[in-house]
Amino acid sequence: MELEQVNTSEKIAQYLLEINAIRLKPNDPFTWASGWKSPIYCDNRLALSYPKVRSYIKDAIVAVVSEHFAEAEAIAGVATAGIPQGALTADALNLPFLYVRSKPKGHGMENMIEGKVTPGQRVVVIEDLVSTGGSSLKAVEDLRAAGFVVMGMVCIFTYGFDIARENFEKAGVKLISLSDYEHMLPNAVKNAYVSAEDLATLGQWRQDPANWKQ
């Protein structure tokens, strides 16, 4: 990973910790909808309420899209949390924007994709958080089914699970995350969000999240 990208990853991790978008409770874990116990909860939507953080994330996404997906013809957000930063990115790049619903709209046109559908158009998908990758890749499937050429996906944060990496590889989707669990942990210890003693259990969760503290 290039030095500039490392610095960006560390800075975003720091911002997310500062605004409590990332919360760590290794001794009193959260329970995810999947039933997994987790020492971390990440809600990047909080960044939208902090102009400095919001702008930094937007600029970082714009830089990634410009460098890695320069031929992009549109930006697509994953509903709901990927919509705001996706729209900001599209505006900054002067590109069309659309978004993908988790399920079809229950009335009217019953759209899965909101915005102009242009088969053959090269699109970059914006997501806020990737865990296993299931819901994110479902959006990719829907875009491909509508005729779009998905160049890749940019997300704000990922836990770095092996299952996510495998799922993206199988789907043939390039994923670039602005920050991740690996860059967040040293910052969390340095700024006393967790203790150095907590690193062992935090690492264990990262290796086997499905069975951690079950």
Beta-carbon contacts of residue 9 (< 8 Å; ≥ 6 apart): 1, 178, 179, 180, 183
- Using a cut of 0.85, tell me whether the model's pTM lies above it: yes
CA pair distance 10, 62, nearest whole angstrom: 18
130 known member of a binding site: yes
Q: Give a yes or no: residue 213 inside a domain.
A: no
Quick check: is 159 in a domain? yes
Q: Is 149 annotated to bind ligand?
A: no
pLDDT at 1: 42
Which residue, among 189, 171, 181, has the nearest Cα to 209 in the 3D structure? 181
The model's pLDDT over 92-145, given as tens digits with 9 standing for 90+, comes to 999 999 999 988 765 545 689 999 999 999 999 999 999 999 999 999 999 999
106 carries a ligand binding annotation:
no
Partners of 35 in the β-ladder: none
Residue 10 lies in a domain: yes
What's at 194, amino acid-wise? V
CATH of the domain at 53: 3.40.50.2020
Q: Is 92 exposed, middle or buried (0-12, 13-18, 19+ CB in 10 A)?
A: middle
132 is in an annotated binding site: yes
Half-sphere exposure of residue 51: CA atoms within 13 angstroms, side-chain side: 0
For residue 129, tell me if it sits in a domain: yes
152 known member of a binding site: no
Within 10 Å of residue 34's Cβ, how many Cβ atoms?
Answer: 11
Q: What is the pLDDT of residue 102?
A: 86
46-85, pLDDT tens digit by residue? 999 999 999 999 999 999 999 999 999 999 999 999 999 9
Please report whether residue 88 resides in a domain: yes
Q: Does 134 belong to an annotated binding site?
A: yes
Contact yes or no for 165/136 (Cβ under 8 A): no
Residue 72 lies in a domain: yes
How far is 90 from 98, CA to CA, in rounded Å? 9
Q: How many domains does the chain have?
A: 1
Does residue 65 fall inside a structural domain? yes
Neighbours of 160 (CB within 10 A): 16
Please check whether residue 98 lies inside any domain of the structure: yes
Q: Is 128 annotated as a binding residue?
A: yes
Question: Which residues span the domain enclosing 88?
Answer: 1-207
